[in-house]
């Protein structure tokens, strides 16, 4: 198992990424099947293909402003377009010639990538890393208007899994998790992201 790997729910044409929002943004997005006001196109938005990492980040949708969990299905073409432009949020020596090389690329990139420890269903850190992708305001419009295929409300599923965990039914809770598997990525893009090939 590689330390850095993208695990996701995907098919031949699309991949699911997760975001957590308050009701105003989430309900409008669900109604229009794309992000509309009060969602802002003028700030960075972060997307994550790991369901359990999203649960850790949003505390199972219990954090203020993150009460609704959206599964956003986007095109694989858009996902890979974003990754092909990404610069890591820290100067990995396997990727950059030095700090100044990284800094110069980071300051002009449209897409940021950060790797964080993947989580268990109980929130414990795992030795593998999970990817977060930050889309700057200069590219987020493509995410909204070109890449997004479907937006689904996973909030009821999150509530169900969380209640099962609270009731001590971890095995049953696991059975409701989205099916994620390693996403096949072009090695050239993988090297850009600090993945080992």
Structural domain spans, the chain? 7-192
Task: Please give the pLDDT value at position 131.
Answer: 97
Task: Please give the pLDDT value at position 197.
Answer: 55
Report the relative pairing of strands 148-153 and 68-75 from DSSP bridges. Answer: antiparallel
Largest CA distance in the chain: 51
Would you give the DSSP letter of residue 54? Answer: H
The whole-model pTM stands at 0.95
Task: Please give the pLDDT value at position 179.
Answer: 97
Task: Please give the pLDDT value at position 128.
Answer: 92
- Distance of alpha carbon 129 from the chain centroid: 12
Residues in the chain, pLDDT under 70: 1, 197
């Amino acid at each position: 198992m590689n330390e850095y790997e993208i695990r996701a729910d995907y098919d031949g044409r699309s991949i699911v990424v997760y975001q957590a929002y308050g009701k105003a943004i989430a309900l409008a997005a669900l109604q229009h099947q794309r992000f509309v006001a009060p969602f802002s196109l003028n700030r960075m938005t972060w997307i994550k293909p790991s369901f359990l990492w999203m649960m850790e980040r949003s505390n199972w949708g219990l954090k203020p402003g993150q009460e609704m969990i959206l599964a956003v299905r986007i095109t694989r073409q858009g996902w890979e377009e974003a990754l092909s432009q990404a610069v890591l949020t820290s100067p990995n020596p396997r990727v950059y010639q030095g700090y100044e090389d990284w800094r110069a690329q980071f300051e002009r990139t449209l897409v940021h990538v950060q790797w964080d420890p993947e989580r268990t269903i109980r929130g414990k850190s795992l030795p593998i890393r999970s990817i977060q992708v930050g889309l700057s305001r200069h590219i987020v419009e493509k995410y909204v208007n070109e890449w997004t295929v479907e937006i689904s409300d996973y909030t009821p599923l999150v509530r169900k899994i969380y209640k099962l965990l609270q009731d001590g039914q971890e095995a049953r809770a696991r059975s409701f998790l989205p099916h994620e598997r390693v996403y096949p990525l072009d090695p050239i893009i993988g090297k850009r992201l600090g993945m080992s090939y």
